[in-house]
Amino acid sequence: MAKILARVCVRIDGINMKRVDKRGAGVDLGAVPWRVLNVSDQPLQLKLCLSGGQSFRWKYKEESDEWTGIVRGSVFKLKETKDGLLYQVLGSVHSTKPDSKVTRNATGIPNTQTEDERHESILKKYFRLDVDLKSLYEDWSKKDSIFKAAADKFYGVRMLAQEPVENLFSFICSQNNHITRISSMIEKLCSTYGQRICEDGEIIYYSFPSVDSLSSVEVESNLRELGFGYRAKFIQKSAAQIQEWGENEWFESLMKKPYKEAKSELIKLPGVGPKVADCICLMSLNHLEAVPVDTHVYQIAANLYLKHLKGRKSVTDAVYNEIGDHFRDMYGPLAGWAHTVLFCADLKKFEESGSKRISDETNKKTKRKKSN
């Protein structure tokens, strides 16, 4: 029954859309149907997954409780319901006809999946729905009482399986930056160098640029004019270097290498330090033991686990590695995923009325003990 439900086309309501073909001409799609992806046996919270600092291209519409974003060249609209995850496909770079049953890959070879099957497959892979998250939460809760305290409220935090190119350049943009500006910079990058996918009213959606489109020398000056600052050089130089190393083949080789070797290779790129390298390893290279350490993660570690680190003015390489190794020792090969749950629990943006950050609550308990 679940398999049947997963393929049911649910026409709840539609929106008039145009899909843009390779010549830029609009094709009227009429009402775009909602489809349902059955996730009843796998916990999933879109808010925690899509606005928790993993990806920066998802937009939330509060009045309709919908998320719109781009995954692997397709524009998705998502909505959580009791029946499952509802989704619309507003457009895709992989096809030009709304009634097309056969799509083609980048080399022009026909794919064997129908469009519906391909989009369903994209979402399942993106949210790693093949992973039994309930069992993982149970295991991590046994190992860590702090995790257990956060698990009930912060259920369904799934590690997104992102494309390495988008992941890497997005996190180069993230350095010394806040989420609103990061998102703005990424949209400028896409609208300037990406492929136009479709339009929704006044909004035009673009795919993420290819390595080739970002590697030309003039890209740096163009991005500086767009407000990217010093990141413009890092983007162009890294793209040129990745192109020289073989692009997709190079990324695939990093997936096959041990985690620390893959991280060392990434750090050779301009503008990629330990934290950015760990983000790429964790979010797009399937090295789920990678633990990116930023200010939030340092505070969680220093306040709750490694209290001898409290008061440090900076996170040195030694401290960074100690924190990562601590979580790896505690949680095992999926430590990066487990630590992301704690990261979400500590962010103020996910607080509800009356709730506290886990690190703040622990600090108060410590102060009360000292006063007694």
- What's the pLDDT at 28? 40
Residues 97-129: tens digit of each pLDDT? 444 444 444 444 445 568 888 999 999 999 999
- What's the pLDDT at 358? 58
For residue 39, what are its two tokens? 């996730």
pTM more than 0.85: no
Please say whether the beta carbons of 265 and 237 come within 8 A. no
Distance CA 8, CA 25 (A): 30
Residues 7-46: tens digit of each pLDDT? 333 333 343 344 443 333 333 444 678 999 888 778 899 9
- The catalytically annotated residue of 3, 275, 307, 313 is 275
Distance CA 172, CA 228 (A): 10
Domain locations along the chain = 2-94+119-130, 162-285
28: burial class by Cβ within 10 Å (0-12, 13-18, 19+)? exposed
Does residue 153 have an active-site annotation?
no
Fold of domain 2-94+119-130:
TATA-Binding Protein (3.30.310)
Beta bridge partner(s), residue 61: 66
Residue 313: pLDDT band with limits 50, 70, 90: confident
Q: Which DSSP symbol is given to 163?
A: -
Fold of domain 162-285:
Endonuclease III; domain 1 (1.10.340)
For residue 238, what are its two tokens? 């890294």
Distance CA 81, CA 157 (A): 17
What average pLDDT does the segment 161-177 reach? 94
- What's the pLDDT at 360? 54
What average pLDDT does the segment 270-288 reach? 97
Please name the residue that has the structure tokens 């939330």: 60
Identify how many contiguous H helices and E strands the chain contains and give both numbers: 17, 10
Residues 145-162: tens digit of each pLDDT? 999 999 989 999 999 999
Q: Residue 337 above 90 pLDDT?
A: yes
Lowest mean pLDDT among 45-49, 169-173, 175-179, 271-275: 175-179
Q: Residue 354 above 60 pLDDT?
A: no
